[in-house]
Amino acid sequence: MCRCVLLAASFLIAVAAHAAAQGLPSEPLAFGDGRVVLGGDVTATIAPSDPGFFTYGTYEHSSLRELRMSLSARIRANSRLSLLAEVRSQNLEVTPFALYARIRPFESAPLDIQVGRIPPTFGRASRLLYARDNPLIGLPLAYQYLTSLRPDAVPATADELLTMRARGWLAGYSVGNASLTAGVPVASAFSFDTGVQATSAWRRITLSGAVTSGTLSNPRVADDNGGKQVQARVTVRPAPGLEIGSSFARGAFVSRAVLRSLDQPLTDSFVQQAYGLDMEYGRRHWLVRAEGIASEWRIPLGTTTQPLRTSVGSVEGRYAFLPGMYAAARLEHLAFSRIHGSSATLPWDAPVTRLEIGGGYYIRRNIVARGSWQLNQRDGGRIRSASFGAAQLLYWF
């Protein structure tokens, strides 16, 4: 994979040099008088290996060692109906990422309804999926770091759960699907959920709500437990440059297969419920973002229902000190509630603290070279600390 990323980086540098000379598209490609618009992103990121799996968003892919390409399209049927789609590839593994219809029922009213595989309603960082919106190379912990929880397998006891601390990259439990696979992040940034979403804006307030098949941490194409998720978000812009958002999500988390094996009814008891608060403030050459999420999963643990809580806080800043050059930093902490095992009371997963410092240089408006250094500390697991330097080349149109 490393060779693949290195090759990709070389290719991208060559493309960047060619683009600088020849002028690859710097704007989205428009056809039919703007009825069809295509945009694309290519990021090649290289970093040393990460044996502690701090930076993995899935079992296979580290967010610091990947070639990611995406092609997105907007097809406007008329002034009220558009179709949006995106295909992504991570290290040449292609997946359909988004596919939904955007309907504006009233020409004059700012109300949009989106149906299909829709973007997350919850949170701020989920709105910043494209690398150009992320001032650093790494993704926020809440959206990338894999906890040890799985929707298709649950531990039989608290001890079994505690043995999987810091093993979210490859977790296995005795109830449900017995195979080893990756756990879920607090909020997934790697796939979209399926459902219906409505958004309306009024002056300085934007309201969004959605009903979907999966949950915040486990978005799904097809429902696996008969329960629906409800998400809501409100953003307020009290002053120029300042936006404050609050989000809520609640949905059935544990899969039908697990509940059947436990002889549990298909009730709405085993849910993920999350609250989020976030802000963004930009002024002159500064941009500051902060986000806090409190999430609770209710899973069957033996004969009881165990609430497993987590809270994550993140604050990041970006400062453009010269035209086309900036420096950025992000500090985050992911904490877990404590549960009682037979021999100890511990957080149900190992808390993680991450600091990332970096910067970027715009070779052209749409070609950016970035570098960052990331320090991860974890209170558990075989590897408790890891730091990486990473480099990234980003091209978008």
Partner 1 sequence: MRWTHRLPPDTADDARRTRRRRTASWQRHLRIALLALVALVHLPGLGGEPPLVEAQSGTGSIRGRVDIRRIVSAPQARPNVADLSAQAKIEAHDLQRAVVFLDAPDVPERSPLRAAPRGTPVRARMDQRNETFLPHVLAVTTGTLVDFPNNDQTFHNVFSLSKTKRFDLGRYGRGEQETVRFERAGIVRVFCDIHSHMSAFVLVFNHPFHTTTADDGRYRIDNVPPGTYTVTVWHEGAARDSRSITIPATGGVMDVDLLVQ
- Contact residues for partner 1, defined by CB under 8 A: 27-28, 30, 33-34, 37-39, 72-74, 84-86, 97-98, 100, 102, 110-112, 114, 119-121, 126-130, 132, 192, 197, 199-201, 206, 208, 233, 240-241, 282-287, 320, 322-324, 362, 364-365, 396-397
- Decide whether 68 or 167 has the Cβ nearer to partner 1: 68
- Decide whether 284 or 382 has the Cβ nearer to partner 1: 284
What span, in angstroms and rounded, lies between the C-alpha atoms of 112 and 200? Answer: 6
- Give the strand pairing for 286-301 and 242-252: unpaired
What is the closest distance, in whole angstroms, from the C-beta atom of residue 98 to partner 1 in the complex?
Answer: 4
DSSP 131: G
What is the closest distance, in whole angstroms, from the C-beta atom of residue 353 to partner 1 in the complex?
Answer: 27
- Decide whether 35 or 338 has the Cβ nearer to partner 1: 35
Query: What six digits make up the tokens of 259?
Result: 């509940």
What span, in angstroms and rounded, lies between the C-alpha atoms of 225 and 180? Answer: 21
Cα dihedral sign, 110-113-118-120: positive
What span, in angstroms and rounded, lies between the C-alpha atoms of 91 and 44? Answer: 9
What is the closest distance, in whole angstroms, from the C-beta atom of residue 117 to partner 1 in the complex?
Answer: 9
What span, in angstroms and rounded, lies between the C-alpha atoms of 213 and 115? Answer: 12
- Decide whether 6 or 71 has the Cβ nearer to partner 1: 71
What is the closest distance, in whole angstroms, from the C-beta atom of residue 111 to partner 1 in the complex?
Answer: 6
Calculate the CA dihedral of residues 319, 321, 327, 329 and round it to 10 degrees: -30
- Decide whether 69 or 271 has the Cβ nearer to partner 1: 69
For 127, phi then psi, to 5°, come to -85, -10
- C-alpha 341: how far from chain center: 31
Pick the closest to residue 381 from 351, 355, 361 (CA basis). 351
What is the closest distance, in whole angstroms, from the C-beta atom of residue 72 to partner 1 in the complex?
Answer: 4
- Decide whether 61 or 124 has the Cβ nearer to partner 1: 124
The answer to whether 290 and 329 have CB atoms below 8 angstroms apart is no
What is the closest distance, in whole angstroms, from the C-beta atom of residue 341 to partner 1 in the complex?
Answer: 40
The span from the first CA to the last CA of the chain, in angstroms, equals: 26
What span, in angstroms and rounded, lies between the C-alpha atoms of 351 and 165? Answer: 9
- Decide whether 42 or 98 has the Cβ nearer to partner 1: 98
- Find where tokens 């999926």 sit: 129
- Decide whether 226 or 241 has the Cβ nearer to partner 1: 241
Angle, vertex CA 299, rays to CA 293 and CA 300, nearest 5:
165
- C-alpha 98: how far from chain center: 14
- Decide whether 143 or 388 has the Cβ nearer to partner 1: 143
What is the closest distance, in whole angstroms, from the C-beta atom of residue 4 to partner 1 in the complex?
Answer: 26
What is the closest distance, in whole angstroms, from the C-beta atom of residue 385 to partner 1 in the complex?
Answer: 33
What is the closest distance, in whole angstroms, from the C-beta atom of residue 127 to partner 1 in the complex?
Answer: 5
